[in-house]
Amino acid sequence: PEIDLEKKVDGSEIIYSTHLSEIELGTYNTHFHIDGILKTGERVSIDSEDFLITVKRPAPEWGIFGFIGIFVIGTITWFSRPKLRGSISMVSPERRLISLKNHPKRKKSLRGDYLIFGPGGGELSDLRNAAFKICAMWRKRIKLEVIRGRMELKRGKERKLLTAGSPSELSRGDEISFRDDGVEFRLRKI
């Protein structure tokens, strides 16, 4: 097809351009034909040699597709992250139930939801010497990570001492016990 060019003057440069919206993507063999009048008044007609021109999709569209792809993957990852489930029963010093799933101060991250017990956390924030975190894992499992202090994990007849850097998976019926400022705390996974 024949295409007319728009003329723009930018300082001492004359720029000819067009918008190729009706042309399909692909490679075309083309040439230029210029008819015009020089400043001297002489009429000229110039034909260029044939050359190839490739019409591609504009780069911003690929950027938009990339952004949409990253957004979709991020959304899927966010909604499929491990989530806290179940409850922790506080046996002593007072009896109460702590819901992990619906706790208003649970934190959310791509690695999984978690709830901090101890200073700066969502539960037992008045603890002085102990702090721990209950984290969601894949396949509806949870683990206990000690942040500060020492704790004992009791599973049936088995007892295990937990310290910072030694996370342990929690199962239903597991009991966590520790002392803080002379008070004994016991919690049970239910």
CATH of the domain at 102: 2.60.200.20
Q: Structure tokens of 3?
A: 């295409």
H-helix segments, the chain: 59-79
* pLDDT value of residue 96: 93
Percent of the chain beyond pLDDT 70?
96
The residue segments making up the domain with residue 183 are 87-189
Domain count, the chain: 2
Does residue 1 lie in a domain region?
A: no
Q: Both 95 and 72 in a single domain?
A: no
Q: Which pLDDT band, with edges at 50, 70 and 90, does 159 fall under?
A: very high
Global confidence as pTM: 0.63
Q: Which pLDDT band, with edges at 50, 70 and 90, does 14 fall under?
A: confident
Query: End-to-end CA distance of the chain, in Å?
Result: 76
DSSP letters, 129-159, are S-EEEEEE-STT-EEEEEEES-EEEEETTEE
* pLDDT value of residue 8: 85
* pLDDT value of residue 80: 92
Does residue 158 lie in a domain region?
A: yes
What is the rounded average pLDDT of the residues 137-141?
A: 91
34: nearest Cα among 26, 43, 25: 43
Q: Both 92 and 145 in a single domain?
A: yes
Last residue of a domain, one of 79, 99, 131: 79
* pLDDT value of residue 189: 94
Q: Give the chain's mean pLDDT.
A: 88
Does residue 173 lie in a domain region?
A: yes
* pLDDT value of residue 174: 94
Are 31 and 48 a contacting pair, CB within 8 Å? Answer: yes
Last residue of a domain, one of 79, 111, 131: 79
pLDDT in tens, 77-127: 999 999 999 999 999 999 999 999 999 999 999 889 999 999 888 889 889
Higher-confidence position of 111 and 22: 111
Neighbours of 188 (CB within 10 A): 17
pLDDT higher than threshold 90 for residue 13:
no
pLDDT higher than threshold 70 for residue 42:
yes
